[in-house]
Amino acid sequence: MSELKHLSFALSEFAGLSAEDFEISEDCWQFQTYKKGDYFNKYKNVCKYLGFVLEGVFRSYIIDKKTGEEKNVFFYSGNQFVVTFKSFINQVPCDYHTKSMTDAKILCIHINHLMKLYKTSHAWERFGRILAQQAFNVVMERTESFLFKTPEERYLDLIKQHPNVFNNIPLYHISSYLGIQGPSLSRIRKRLSTK
């Protein structure tokens, strides 16, 4: 399946876009490849692109000003959108880095093209609304998981949301994302493996 056909199918599933709806956007999408460690968007840069991950894993992270430690905030993997959403929508500098953790392939669309699609088509307007709702839900779930869930529950959620992440990235990145230390992650994995 070609990259654009894959994206068309994914957007049909995600927001009910028809083949005709997608067709008006075809010229707007750009295929991009990333090497491990390449930036999708840097801290304080304005995010200009919405990316759809075909292959690979990205992470958004902050750097603790006191310790210099990187703290993972979000992961983005196959068939998900990679975007620093607040920066993208408001066209303001981003509060964190977003970087490829593996070699990766994406299809991306510039903010200007997306805004034109919103004006052209109700279907694309609906896509924008659903994308915003999903971004809101991701942030709320992430915030609430630290308030209401145990590290083990956060770990199980991560497996559901990003099933391939464990095959592709070092465990210390997963520990950082879960807000725990490496030994705690090892205990969780050991405990779950015996269930």
Tell me the per-residue pLDDT of 62-92, one tens digit each, with 9 for 90 and over. 999 899 899 999 999 999 999 999 999 999 9
Total domains in the chain come to 2
pLDDT for 165 beyond 90: no
Write out the residue range of the structural domain in which residue 19 sits: 3-147
Question: 0.75 cut: is pTM over it?
Answer: yes
What is the per-residue pLDDT for 23?
96
**pLDDT surpassing 70 at residue 108:** yes
From CA 154, how far away is CA 71, in angstroms rounded? 16
Give yes or no: residues 135 and 168 share one domain: no
Alpha-carbon gap, residue 2 to 10, rounded angstroms: 12
Contact criterion met (CB below 8 Å) for 110 and 49: yes
Residues 143 and 155 in one domain: no
pLDDT of 1 strictly over 70: no
Exposure class string for 69-104: b at 16+ Cβ within 10 A, else e: ebebbbbbbbebbbbbbebbbeeeebebbbbbbbeb
Instruction: Assess whether 141 and 168 both reside in one domain.
Output: no
Whether 105 and 52 map to the same domain: the answer is: yes
Categorize the per-residue pLDDT at 168 as very low, low, confident or very high, splitting at 50, 70 and 90: confident
Mean pLDDT taken over the chain: 94
What is the per-residue pLDDT for 193? Answer: 81
Residues 104-133 have a mean pLDDT of 97
pLDDT at 48: 97
- Beta carbons of 96 and 70 less than 8 angstroms apart: no
Encoding tokens for residue 33? 């490849």
